[in-house]
Amino acid sequence: MDLNPKEKLISEINEKIKICKLCDLYKIRKNAVPGEGNINSKIMLIGLGPGKDEDIQGRPFVGAAGKFLNELLNLVGIKREEVYITNVVKCIPPNNKPNEHQIFICTSNYLDKQIEVIKPRLIITLGEIATKYIFEKNGKKFVNMSIHGKVFEFKNYFVLPMFHPASALYNPSLKEKIINDWLKNKEFIRKFLAKLE
């Protein structure tokens, strides 16, 4: 099958990620997880990194947190296939805590390029590490997740910081807050669906 230029670029990035050894996280992974979804979508979701299930399957958000993420997407009337989903780091980080060096190497080689090629108009950051990365990449100061559920307009895209869906698994009291954040932004998020190419 012939790939169009955008598909070709994404597939080249994915192939590089799958065999990447640029930081030491490659030593503990089973599979690198490049990302998946609609590369023509104007909505990109960025999480922290693969967990155990994602590491086994090589796909993002397929474990319990992924199940909750699917529910959140359904809640705002979006199918998972209508957005692009990826992570800050593409290999499973120990204790969900990639270090600064791993984040720098992985984002400068891969996430930045995925954003450049896919050109989202709305980035939904899931959790602190993704939000911090996207804020600082745009020269903005990030303090903490008290900004959850609020929309920010940056030069090339809007950013909507949300709590990471996994945080509801560790802290059930957050679940309602997360659901409210998604519902509150339902119409805003859905506007970007209409912009599918």
User: Using CB under 6 A as the criterion, which residues of the chain lie in contact with ligand SF4 when the complex forms?
Assistant: 17, 20-23, 25-26, 32, 89-91, 102, 105-106, 109
Name the DSSP letter for residue 10.
H
CB of 112 vs ligand SF4, minimal distance in Å: 12
Dihedral sign for Cα atoms in the order 10, 12, 18, 23: negative
Nearer to ligand SF4, 26 or 188 (CB): 26
Strand 158-162, strand 152-153: pairing? antiparallel
Nearer to ligand SF4, 100 or 197 (CB): 100
CB of 113 vs ligand SF4, minimal distance in Å: 12
CB 41 within 8 A of CB 87: no
CB of 24 vs ligand SF4, minimal distance in Å: 7
Nearer to ligand SF4, 42 or 90 (CB): 90
The residue among 68, 21, 98, 92 whose CA lies nearest residue 177 is 68
Tell me how far the alpha carbon of residue 47 is from its chain's centroid: 4
State the DSSP string of 112-167: HHHHHHH--SEEEEESHHHHHHHHHHTT-----GGGTT--EE-SS-EEEEE--HHH
- Take residue 106 and report the two structure tokens written for it: 């992985």
CB of 163 vs ligand SF4, minimal distance in Å: 23
Nearer to ligand SF4, 40 or 109 (CB): 109
- Take residue 79 and report the two structure tokens written for it: 């199918």
Nearer to ligand SF4, 20 or 134 (CB): 20
CB of 167 vs ligand SF4, minimal distance in Å: 22
